[in-house]
Every structure is written in structure tokens, then in C-alpha cells.
Amino acid sequence: MTDLWSVDEHLDDVLGAVRPLAPIELPLLDADGCVLVEDVPVTAPLPPFDNSSMDGYAVRVADVETATEEYPAVLRVIGDIAAGSGRLPAVGPGEAARIMTGAPMPPGAQAVVPVEWTDGGTGAGPADAMTGRDHGPEVRVHRPAAAGAHIRPRGSDAAPGTVALAAGTVLGAPQIGLLAAIGRATVPVRPRPRVVVLSTGSELTAPGRPLAPGRIHDSNGFMLTAAARDAGAVAYRASAVADEPETLRATLDDQLGRADLIVTSGGVSVGAYDVVKEALDGRAEFRRLAMQPGKPQGFGLIGPARTPLFALPGNPVSAYVSFELFVRPALRAMAGHTADALHRPRTTARLDGDGPVTSPAGRRQYLRGSHDAVRGTVRPVGGAGSHLVAALARADALIEIPETVTEVAPGAELTVVLLR
């Protein structure tokens, strides 16, 4: 019996072998979820001009200094300034300009009084909205306004010469909004890795097709493609390949050109038809890990571009757990995420359940679990069998049982990998 590799050794080897993808300039929406590779400077002030934060009237402070509802300041309305206005009337003493939220401040004005602090030009009591386009000739202002009141100064959000977003930032909706606001149409980022997922096994039939005797549906292909997308990749599922090394070799060579990373499942154990092992003999290394599920693993850098290839075990739970522990961090490293952001979050939780759980000596076990964040507990879902896809679908966590532990009693603290 050959020595087993530890989970950590395998992960170190995998992460030591993959490299971040070369950066490319992408349009903003294509860069969503990607990691920025350069600082993005602010080149023009944001907002670009002083503008109003309220619908109301642009006024001179001295004109409204003593204004009350009983003794309003009566100002001559000289015009209307909508957001986007290019021509601005100058506001002189005793004058006001109607102004809308986001509209540029006109010369001469020092503050904005919201329409609710005026009669809105109606001559009646306090207004609750601006009237239509036909404004009255004058407005009664009921309250004073300090200089700068309800004005958003030019450059107050982002000033030229500062950094809008630093290299290493992961772009999400607010960051993309900022980039658009400062006028950037494209940004240099690491692209999403392109992943091809390939199932192997002569027993596999695509979902939607009836099953002939002895056959099963290809669930790994769909599950792993979804997992790769969840990890931030652009992933495609190739049609399942039968247990013929030549066909698999040809399919892999064909897919290499369109993939930054390849994931296969099945055919890595000790069976007579372990096709991946046979097809990749000498091109990938096959190991047995001190882990359950996920004992047999293959990994290599193949083809002219030395494309990372993960040959995962065929049992569905083994394939999924292996993906989460090894492929997901590799994909995130390729996408430029930092070491602290490669893995699923982990926490500790107390084991909940009717009795103890057992684990084989010398193997790190990952049981499927249901995590209760409020109570700080985790409960096993289904058994340890690596074919149990229904239980996997009900789980939201992996319960990690260390290599040295063979039995865990309810109430014991364990590490939990959070899957959602």
C-alpha cells in the first residue's frame, strides 16, 4: 500500500502549480466579479460641478437670512434649472432660480432651499412639491439657509489625483457603478477562468434521455459545471466520454484550446476501466489522499499551455468535495484572488445529533451537514457514502473530522466549511 498524501500537501501542490491568468482590458459589465490589476485613478472631479441635492430654489444667503413663515422672503424667480442644464441664469440680489436635484448651481447662488420651505410660487402656504413647468413670478421662502446648504460640491465624492479603486479590488456592483461614474468604459482585470468539465464513464447518459439497463445519468458533469460557475469561472460541460482512452485523449486535446482549466470526473481508481488514469499516464500525477471522500486524485499541467487538469473521483460526493477543496481555490487563484480569499468560509460549530459520528483513523473526513448559525451547531445530513447525492443536495456545510479523530460525541466543537 502506497503512502497517502495529506489534504494540505495536495492543496499546496495544486496552488503551487497554478498561476494567475494574464490580465486583459474588459468592458465594465464583463469585468463584474473580476479582480482589478492596476489602481484606477480619478482623473476628473466627481461630481463634476456643484449641484443641488434637493428640488427647490437656488438663493443668496443674505436674501433669506430673516425668512419665517409669517414674514417670508419674497424673491423674484428668474428661471428653471433642470438636471443636465447647460445654460445657467445668474442669481442676483432678491432673486431665486428654481432648481432640480442634480442640476448645476447657477452663478451667484449660495444655497438651495428645498421646495417644502417655500410656497412653491403658489402664493398659498408651504408647498409639498414643485409645480409644473409654469412657475409663478415670485416665491415666498419660509426659512433661512446657510451657505452651502443642500449643495453637493464639485469633487466632494472623488477628487482628481486620488485612487478610485486600488489594484486587487474585486469588482462588484458598487465598484462598477463608481467606474462608470468617473467615466471609465473598460478596466484591466484578470479574466474569469474558462473551464471545461468532462465526465467519463460508459454508463453515463445525459439527463432527459431514458436509461438503458445498467446506465445512470451524468450528474457530475452538471454539478461540477455549476460549481465552477459558482467559483467565478466561465464553465462548459462537454458531453460525457465513454471508457476508451483514445477517445478521451482526443477529446482532451480538442478541449485544451478553449480551456484555462479542465476538470474530469471518474476513472481514477483501481478498476479495470479507469480511463482517465490510462489516458493521462505520464501527463498527470495520480495520488491517494488521506481523505474521505475523495481518496483518489489526479492533477497535472497538460498540453502546450500547461493547462491545469484535475482528475476527480467519479463518486458524486467525492467529486464535489474534491472540487470545493482543491479546484475552487485553484480557480480563484487563477482569477487573481489573494490567499485569504481562495477558500469557502470556515467556522466552528458544535456537533448536533442523537449519537456520536465515527471516522476512519488516518483519514480526514468531510461529512455533509446542516449548519445552524444562530445556535452554532451542525448536524450531519445523510451518511458517509460518497454516492449520496440527495443528502448532498440538502447540506449547506461540510463537517471536517481530523485525521486523528475516530469518534466525535454530540456537543464537540468541529470545523465546518460553509457551502452557502
Q: Which residues bind ligand MOO (CB under 6 A)?
A: 292-295, 313, 315, 318, 386
Rg (CA), the chain: 32
Q: Which residue has the cell 438503458?
A: 212
Give me 106's grid cell.
Answer: 447657477
What strand order describes the sheet that includes 285-288?
Answer: 234-237, 194-199, 261-265, 307-312, 296-302, 285-288
CB of 44 to ligand LQZAQKY5, least distance (A): 53
DSSP, collapsed to helix, strand or coil, labels residue 260 as coil
- The answer to whether the beta carbons of residues 261 and 195 sit under 8 Å apart is yes
Give me 155's grid cell.
Answer: 469633487
> Which of 104, 201, 232, 336 touches ligand LQZAQKY5 (CB under 6 A)?
201
Beta-carbon neighbour count of residue 220 at 10 Å? Answer: 31
Report if residue 245 touches ligand LQZAQKY5, rule: CB under 6 A: no
CB of 30 to ligand LQZAQKY5, least distance (A): 31
Query: How many residues line the site for ligand LQZAQKY5 (CB under 6 A)?
Result: 26
> Which of 52, 220, 264, 297 touches ligand LQZAQKY5 (CB under 6 A)?
220
Q: Find which of ligand MOO, ligand LQZAQKY5, none residue 347 binds, CB within 5 to 8 Å per kind.
A: none
Single out the residue of 393, 232, 185 nearest to residue 328, CA to CA. 232
**Nearer to ligand LQZAQKY5 (CB atom), residue 33 or residue 385:** 385
Alpha helices in 259-386 (DSSP H): 275-279, 316-322, 328-334
Report if residue 315 touches ligand LQZAQKY5, rule: CB under 6 A: yes
Report if residue 347 touches ligand LQZAQKY5, rule: CB under 6 A: no
Beta-carbon neighbour count of residue 211 at 10 Å? Answer: 10
**Nearer to ligand LQZAQKY5 (CB atom), residue 110 or residue 220:** 220
- The answer to whether the beta carbons of residues 218 and 314 sit under 8 Å apart is no
CB of 358 to ligand LQZAQKY5, least distance (A): 17
CB of 1 to ligand MOO, least distance (A): 15
Site string for ligand LQZAQKY5, 261-290 (x = CB under 6 A): ----xxxxxxx--x----------------
Report if residue 206 touches ligand LQZAQKY5, rule: CB under 6 A: no
Alpha helices in 239-339 (DSSP H): 245-256, 275-279, 316-322, 328-334
Buried b (16+ CB within 10 A) or exposed e, 118-153: bbbbeeeebbeebeeeebeeebbbbbbbeeebbbbe
What DSSP state is assigned to residue 35?
E
**Nearer to ligand LQZAQKY5 (CB atom), residue 89 or residue 266:** 266
> Which of 316, 336, 369, 380 touches ligand LQZAQKY5 (CB under 6 A)?
316
**Nearer to ligand MOO (CB atom), residue 259 or residue 384:** 384
| Phi-psi category of residue 46: left, alpha or beta, with phi > 0 → left and psi -120 to 50 → alpha | beta
Report if residue 79 touches ligand LQZAQKY5, rule: CB under 6 A: no
Alpha helices in 166-218 (DSSP H): 173-181
CB of 306 to ligand MOO, least distance (A): 26
CB of 387 to ligand LQZAQKY5, least distance (A): 6
Report if residue 120 touches ligand LQZAQKY5, rule: CB under 6 A: no
Report if residue 324 touches ligand LQZAQKY5, rule: CB under 6 A: no
Buried b (16+ CB within 10 A) or exposed e, 180-190: eebebeebebb
**Nearer to ligand MOO (CB atom), residue 79 or residue 313:** 313
Report if residue 300 touches ligand LQZAQKY5, rule: CB under 6 A: no
**Interface residue list for ligand LQZAQKY5 (CB under 6 A):** 199, 201, 203-204, 216, 218-221, 265-271, 274, 293, 295-296, 313-316, 318, 386
